[in-house]
Amino acid sequence: MIGDLSLPVLIASVLTASAPLIIIALGETLTEKSGVINLSLDGVVLFSAMAAFVVAKTTGSLLLGFLAGGFAGMLTGIIVGYFSVYLHLSQVAVGFALSLLCRDLAYFLGNPYSRVQGPTLLAGKLPFYEALPSSLQIILTQPLTVWFALLLIFILYYFFSFSKAGLCLRSVGENPAASFARGLNPGRIQMAAVLAGAFLVGVGGAAYSLSLKPGWGRPQGAEGIGWIGLALVIFGGWHPMRVALGAMLFAFLQVSGIGLQDIFPGVPSQVFQTAPFPLMIFTLVFMHYSTKNNRKQGYRENRFQRIIGKLFMSRAPKAIGKSYRQE
């Protein structure tokens, strides 16, 4: 394959590397489906990664670490939610300022914990490990975060497509005034979506400092991931499946970068570390651009296309980014 990587190793590393990003991007998907953009992702990921590491280090408990990450995320969610849902401030402005604040806060508060050893969530063998063929043994020996991320894809897919609560949440993202007219409370639903989404983002951040890139430091290694997460949601069409696939694509780029480094020793390794970010954003841009043109032609869908569309196509919630004021 690429460099020394065999196919099973490649698949395994892509799965491992994509898990935190999937959790983060799906958290943001949940928030944006309700019509609120939480632009603070990049800082929040770092902040929760720091909180998770510090708590796990001091208590020695990984579970408490992950929970701390989640609650650190939620704490920022309160600010995003209150500012954009109740004060009707520009979601972009609030998110951007909060993003920088959280990043620096993470560096500042995490400073004493830089470059120290802490608890790490390792890959675990499945109970029926021995019964598997060797390639599957490699692929399926993963940390818990991977199983959580994969499960989350299906949970969110089911939640949006088939559950009553998911329908209410989507309705608020499409037309909050109409939701209000039908007896829902758009503000409360949006707030809940922001908090739940921020919790997931926090857990994703914890997955960096406790599993994928264990430890804390400046830089931690999760810098820029939040922006990628945001881009994934938008160009993944607010659809859990596509968003998750996008996250895996990014992980693939990162992993193959490591492999390519061995092939081209002349190119500095820093370039390979940075390259996935622009590559990802522009891949997403082109994907987005080509599907947009398709949609414009307004073809009639047959039943099959409708099913495919439900699985993979989706689009922006109509009221996204606009705050709703009750009359």
Q: Which stretch binds another protein (CB under 8 A): 9-17, 57-65, 87-95, 132-140?
A: 87-95
How far is it, in rounded angstroms, from Cα 63 to Cα 66? 5
Q: How far is CA 244 from the centre of its chain?
A: 8
Cα–Cα distances in angstroms (integers) from residue 224 to residues 81, 229, 306, in the given order: 23, 9, 36
Q: Is 94 in the site for another protein (CB under 8 A)?
A: yes
Q: Which stretch binds another protein (CB under 8 A): 65-73, 85-93, 134-142, 143-151?
A: 85-93
Q: Is 258 in the site for another protein (CB under 8 A)?
A: no
- Maximum distance among all Cα pairs of the chain, rounded to whole angstroms: 64
- Shortest separation between residue 275's beta carbon and another protein, angstroms: 6
Q: Which stretch binds another protein (CB under 8 A): 16-24, 115-123, 130-138, 156-164?
A: 156-164
Q: Is 158 in the site for another protein (CB under 8 A)?
A: no
- Shortest separation between residue 212's beta carbon and another protein, angstroms: 20
Query: Under rule CB under 8 A, which residues in 272-301 are in contact with another protein?
Result: 274-275, 277-278, 281-282, 284-285, 288-289, 292, 298
How far is it, in rounded angstroms, from Cα 85 to Cα 89? 8
How far is it, in rounded angstroms, from Cα 97 to Cα 220? 20
Q: Is 313 in the site for another protein (CB under 8 A)?
A: no
| Residue 281 token pair | 């954003």
Q: Is 230 in the site for another protein (CB under 8 A)?
A: yes
Q: How many residues bind another protein (CB under 8 A)?
A: 69
Query: Under rule CB under 8 A, which residues in 102-131 are in contact with another protein?
Result: 102-105, 107-112
Cα–Cα distances in angstroms (integers) from residue 123 to residues 36, 126, 271, in the given order: 35, 10, 29
Q: Is 324 in the site for another protein (CB under 8 A)?
A: no
How far is it, in rounded angstroms, from Cα 28 to Cα 38? 7
Query: Under rule CB under 8 A, which residues in 159-198 are in contact with another protein?
Result: 162-164, 167-168, 170-171, 174-175, 177-185
- Peptide bond between residue 219 and the one before it cis (omega within 30 degrees of 0): yes
| Residue 213 token pair | 């890139």
93: amino acid identity, one letter: A
- What's the per-residue H, E or C state across 176-218? HHHHHHCCCCHHHHHHHHHHHHHHHHHHHHHHHHHHHCCCCCC
Cα–Cα distances in angstroms (integers) from residue 108 to residues 56, 211, 214, 216, 259, in the given order: 18, 22, 18, 12, 34
Q: Is 101 in the site for another protein (CB under 8 A)?
A: yes
Residues that bind another protein (CB under 8 A): 39, 79, 83, 86-89, 92-94, 96-98, 100-105, 107-112, 162-164, 167-168, 170-171, 174-175, 177-185, 218, 224, 227, 230-231, 234, 267-268, 270-271, 274-275, 277-278, 281-282, 284-285, 288-289, 292, 298, 306, 315, 318, 327
